[in-house]
Structure 1
Amino acid sequence: MTSLPPSLPSRFRPPGPEGPASPEVRRLGEALLRRDPLADAVVEAFATQPPGRGFALLEQGLAEGRDALPEAPKALLTLLDTLDQAPPWLDSARREAGAAALLRSGAAAGIVLGMKSLVLGYASPAGNKALMFSGQLQEKTPRRLAETSRFVQAVSQPGGMERYGQGLAITVKVRIMHAQVRRLIDRSGRWQPEAFGEPINQHDMLATVILFSAALVEGLRKLGYAVSAREADDISHLWREVGLRMGVEDALLPETHAKALSLAERIQAAQAPPDDDSRALVAALFSSRPHMARTPKEKKVAERRAGVMQALCRHLIGDRLADELGVVRNRWAGVTLAVKPALALAARVNRLPGVRQAAARAGNAYWTAAVAEVLGDAEAAFAPPESLRQGAA
């Protein structure tokens, strides 16, 4: 068995009986060294345009197609061309079934997304570094949650991932936003590739896809909301396409829920325990709403809500990781005793033929309300940032 390349970043610490250089582990480690070359080329081309012009071209191309942009940068045209090409493995019926199952889960999925998927992402002491470069944790956390909610809502819509669907458009905007963050991090001169690998690399983008698919499904199940094996695979199929459109290499993406869980175990096993940045991100997740309350009454309600969410978070991620992240134990621990039977009933009812459409509408209404609670009537723009906050990270 060959050893791991010495060039791999120090963050990668694969243990276990497979050995550090099993093909699967080696593949994950090497993914830390790769970016998204096409998206990076797009943002480099945008940098030569007047401010805002590149993103406007992207939005036009997403809405109207590449023929509407005859003089656009070549990299952007190449990116748009890829959107017209369906991967050979894509089964649109399964993708739509996965989207429908996710949409029907509504508020339950919202809880798992915020209290498990995002928290597990924050727990990665190297994967969280690009996010820390943005700074302003208290102020930006609610907006980040709202934009994430809008992203999940959009990809879950019927036809959302079709060529001119909103889900596909937002996915591509997220891809370009990631590329712009990489560009800004490079220009900052403060990134440590020998420790972290490339910023927003293939490994970490793959991990995000798994957190939004397999980890979300397992979180729903832990809350009592049953997800069938077929539904779990269909949700993974949906996110396999989302991951591809977000810039993850096709060869890395798992074909099934079981394979996604296997990858998740390997990724988790090779990362270090949470660090201070992990704890700062999680603290901001729970304190941002009380921090932004405008009245004592609003603050009291926000603090009670944060307490309930902390209890649900501990249930979803386990006490050991919750302790490492500083998620406090509180008097709301018994809330899961009420939540689980209610969600178990909801899952059964939502599958009934006469209820499926109503459940999807209710789920959609939940996501719309979650976004509006923070953004009001404003749209989630997903525009690439122009700068990083000075002194961040």
Structure 2
Amino acid sequence: MSSARVPTTLRRHDEALARFGGFATSYVDAMWVGDPLADAFVADLAALGHGRGMRMLRRACQSGIEAVPDAPDSLRALFAQLDADPPWLDRTTITHDSRYVARYTRQAGIVLGAASLVSGYANSAASRPLEMTGRYVENAGARTVEVASWLQAVNEPDGLDRFSPGFELTVRVRVIHALVRADLRRRPDWDESAWGVPICQAYLAYTLVEFALIPVRSMRQVGAPYLPHEEAASYARWRYLGHLLGIDEALLPRGAAEQERLESIYLLTRPPVDDYCRALVASINTDFLVPEIEQLVPSPLHRWAPTVVQAMERLFLGDEIADELAIPRTRLVAVVRRLGPALGLGNALLDRAVFTLPWRARRGRRYQEQQDARLRRDWGVQHDLVDASPGGGRPHPARGDVDGQVGSGPG
């Protein structure tokens, strides 16, 4: 393929071709591609029934595809890919080299919201599936808890093992993407000529940047720098997670340099911000990030929490994107920018005392467990991902309760 077809909302395509050559062609071509293996399984759910098919998926995750004797060929093909470890995968090194990263759990939670998630909202085409499923603005806290549940599982020491909860959650995330993709492609209000395929390969690949490159960089900015081998382990972990999520090898970044290239072309060509992008940011700030900052500071300082969030977002995103997202300007950015290196120096010195790493990591994991319990209580979230969320609210394709899908096929 060549980039003869370009989504009409994409910007600076000619400049991207001049700067990135063949990679730009692959990147734009990927906007017309979903996930053939997961999409084929989702297509079979019409005959299988949503509930029955999703139970098959879980059983295959937990016990292997051999435990599903009546599995359709599409599910067998999907697990043939999932069960075949790529030759570059080294689970042992990834686990060993990231065993103490939980010492920075407090900072990582803020970075997840203010840097990783918000960075994805500066693209109206990539954000459109969230808008059209009504999944975020209606309940930013619950959606963020779901994302955090997945991230916590895949970052556990055994989170990449074949029969781990992290593996199952990742496969379910992949199928949730395919369910949303199938639903949106049936809808007349999905403008494929403008946005490309829903949750396309190009924007799916960028999520690895959101969860690896951006956190590594942002943690340095807030004074919680990972050690070099921990950064390398993060890129290796997310390379494998990208493989499990169905990202094509041509786009799957192998390390920091290729993630930086992917970020550069994404930022250069991203469709413009729209009102929904701004509503996403306002929602996560009001419903999630500001309350989280309030948890970390004494009550007399709570009135400053919105300004602190805005300062961090401007630091992480830069003024151009922050202006587009209508994040107010604040002089507190300069304070946060200066505070980060000072905190970083102190933490770097502490990291040199190697004997402190295990107990700091244990303390971080305890905090993480406490926060997870609190957030689930505060937001009334008992499930892990949206496919297991209770009905009663707005229908969602991952639950099988979208028009035309309820009860389809034998249950």
Pairwise TM-score range, normalised by the shorter structure: 0.7 to 0.9
Once the two structures are TM-superposed, the CA of residue 88 in structure 1 deviates from its matched residue by 0.6
Task: Report the residue type matching 1:309 in the other structure.
Answer: V
Once the two structures are TM-superposed, the CA of residue 134 in structure 1 deviates from its matched residue by 1.6
Once the two structures are TM-superposed, the CA of residue 185 in structure 1 deviates from its matched residue by 0.7
Alignment-derived partner of residue 173 in structure 2: 174
Alignment-derived partner of residue 151 in structure 1: 150
* Residues 115 and 99 (structure 1), Cα distance of their counterparts in 2 relative to 1, 3 Å cut: same
* Residues 151 and 136 (structure 1), Cα distance of their counterparts in 2 relative to 1, 3 Å cut: closer
Q: Secondary structure at the match of 2:126?
A: coil
Alignment-derived partner of residue 399 in structure 2: 385
Alignment-derived partner of residue 296 in structure 1: none
* Residues 300 and 50 (structure 1), Cα distance of their counterparts in 2 relative to 1, 3 Å cut: farther
Alignment-derived partner of residue 295 in structure 1: none
Alignment-derived partner of residue 310 in structure 2: 310
- Using the aligned pairs only, state the percent identity: 30
The range that moved more, 21-30 or 208-217, is 21-30
Alignment-derived partner of residue 10 in structure 1: 8
Q: Deviations over 1:231-264 (max 9, x none)?
A: 3222111000001101111221111112211221
Q: 1:18, 1:48 → 2: CA distance?
A: 43
TM-score for the superposition, normalised by structure 2: 0.84
Once the two structures are TM-superposed, the CA of residue 161 in structure 1 deviates from its matched residue by 0.6
Q: Is the 8 A contact 1:125 1:278 kept in 2?
A: yes
Q: Deviations over 1:171-222 (max 9, x none)?
A: 1110010000011112222211111110001001000111111111111112
Q: Secondary structure at the match of 1:100?
A: coil
Once the two structures are TM-superposed, the CA of residue 275 in structure 1 deviates from its matched residue by 1.8
Alignment-derived partner of residue 393 in structure 2: none
Alignment-derived partner of residue 61 in structure 2: 62
CA RMSD of aligned residues (A): 2.9
* Residues 82 and 104 (structure 1), Cα distance of their counterparts in 2 relative to 1, 3 Å cut: farther
Q: Secondary structure at the match of 1:126?
A: helix
Q: Is the 8 A contact 1:15 1:269 kept in 2?
A: no
Alignment-derived partner of residue 359 in structure 1: 360
Structure 2 unaligned segments of length 5 or more: list them.
292-298, 388-397, 404-411
Alignment-derived partner of residue 191 in structure 2: 192
Alignment-derived partner of residue 94 in structure 1: 93
Q: 2:28, 2:100 → 1: CA distance?
A: 33
Matched, 1:325 2:319: no
The range that moved more, 218-227 or 5-14, is 5-14
Q: Is the 8 A contact 1:98 1:236 kept in 2?
A: no
Q: 1:385, 1:182 → 2: CA distance?
A: 14
Q: 1:101, 1:258 → 2: CA distance?
A: 24
Q: Is the 8 A contact 2:290 2:309 kept in 1?
A: no
Q: Deviations over 1:65-121 (max 9, x none)?
A: 112111122222222233321101112233224543543431222211110111110
* Residues 352 and 388 (structure 1), Cα distance of their counterparts in 2 relative to 1, 3 Å cut: farther
Q: Secondary structure at the match of 1:213?
A: helix
* Residues 331 and 222 (structure 1), Cα distance of their counterparts in 2 relative to 1, 3 Å cut: closer
1:99-118 map, 5 Å: 99-100=98-99, 102-118=101-117
Q: Is the 8 A contact 1:103 1:156 kept in 2?
A: no
Residues matched between the structures, number: 382
Alignment-derived partner of residue 395 in structure 2: none
Q: Secondary structure at the match of 1:47?
A: helix
TM-score for the superposition, normalised by structure 1: 0.88
- Decide which structure has greater helix share: 2
1:218-233 map, 5 Å: 218-233=217-232
1:32-43 map, 5 Å: 32-43=31-42
Task: Report the residue type matching 1:109 in the other structure.
Answer: A
Task: Report the residue type matching 1:151 in the other structure.
Answer: W
Once the two structures are TM-superposed, the CA of residue 18 in structure 1 deviates from its matched residue by 5.6
Q: 2:7, 2:252 → 1: CA distance?
A: 22
